A and B are shown apart, each in its own frame.
Chain A
Amino acid sequence: NAGVTQTPKFQVLKTGQSMTLQCAQDMNHEYMSWYRQDPGMGLRLIHYSVGAGITDQGEVPNGYNVSRSTTEDFPLRLLSAAPSQTSVYFCASSYLQGYEQYFGPGTRLTVT
C-alpha cells in the first residue's frame, strides 16, 4: 500500500493564481482531512470529509475549496493564492473521524 500520497511536493505561486493540491489514499478510509502547518502554530484543520460526497469546514477554511467525488481522492483547491497561504499542507486519512490518522508527506507552498 502507498498509504497517503500528495502532489506536488513543492510549489511556488504568484499572488492571484489558483491551483489544486492532490491527495489520494489507498486504505479505503472514509475520513480525510487537510491541515496547514505554520511555524509556531501547530496544525490547523482546513476542510474535512467523512465520506464521498460529504465535506465540511474546519478551523481555517477561507480561500480553500474541497470536493470528495471518490473515497480515494480529496483535492484541495486554492482559489486565488495570497501570501498568507504560504505554508506546508498535509493531507490525512483515517478509518473513523477522531481516531488514528495517517498523514501524507506534505506540500510546501510559497506564494509570492
Chain B
Amino acid sequence: SQQGEEDPQALSIQEGENATMNCSYKTSINNLQWYRQNSGRGLVHLILIRSNEREKHSGRLRVTLDTSKKSSSLLITASRAADTASYFCATSGAGSYQLTFGKGTKLSVIP
C-alpha cells in the first residue's frame, strides 16, 4: 500500500526558528493531510491539500505539494515550545480514498 514517508525522523530547534518537515509518497493521491500528535494523545488534523493545489496556508503553517515529485513539505514558522509534538503526513489514495499514514517526524522546540 502507498505510504507517506516523513523526513527527518526527528528535528530539534530553538523557539522562534522555523521548522520544515518533508513527506514523500509513492502513488497518485486524492489529497494529502498533515496531523499533529502530542505525547500520549490522539492525532489532530492540521491541514489538507488537494492534488490540484500547490500551496496552502493556515496560521503559522504552510504546506506545499509537488505531485510531479510526489512530495510535500510542512513549514511551521516562528515555532513555540507548544509546537513540540510528532507530525504525520497521510495520503488519501486516488480511487481508494483510504488514508495511509507515515511514521512521523518528532519535533522538539527548545524554549
Contacts and interface: CB of A to CB of B under 8 A. Distances in A.
Interface residues of B, number: 25
A53 interface: no
B99 A98 contact: yes
Contacts of A59: 1
B45 A102 contact: yes
B30 interface: yes
A102 B41 CA distance: 12
Nearest to B95: A98
Contact of B31 (A40, A98, A102): A98
A8 to B, nearest CB: 15
* Majority secondary structure, B binding face: strand
Given A42-B103, A99-B31, A100-B48, A58 B98 contact: yes
B88 interface: yes
B109 to A, nearest CB: 22
A41 B41 contact: no
A74 interface: no
A90 interface: yes
A97 interface: yes
18 contacts: A40-B103, A42-B3, A42-B101, A42-B102, A42-B104, A45-B100, A59-B1, A92-B43, A97-B98, A98-B98, A99-B48, A102-B45, A103-B35, A103-B42, A103-B43, A104-B42, A105-B41, A105-B42
Given A96-B97, A105-B41, 20 more contacts: A33-B99, A35-B101, A42-B3, A42-B88, A42-B103, A42-B104, A43-B43, A45-B99, A45-B100, A98-B93, A98-B96, A98-B99, A99-B31, A99-B92, A100-B33, A103-B35, A103-B42, A103-B44, A106-B41, A106-B42
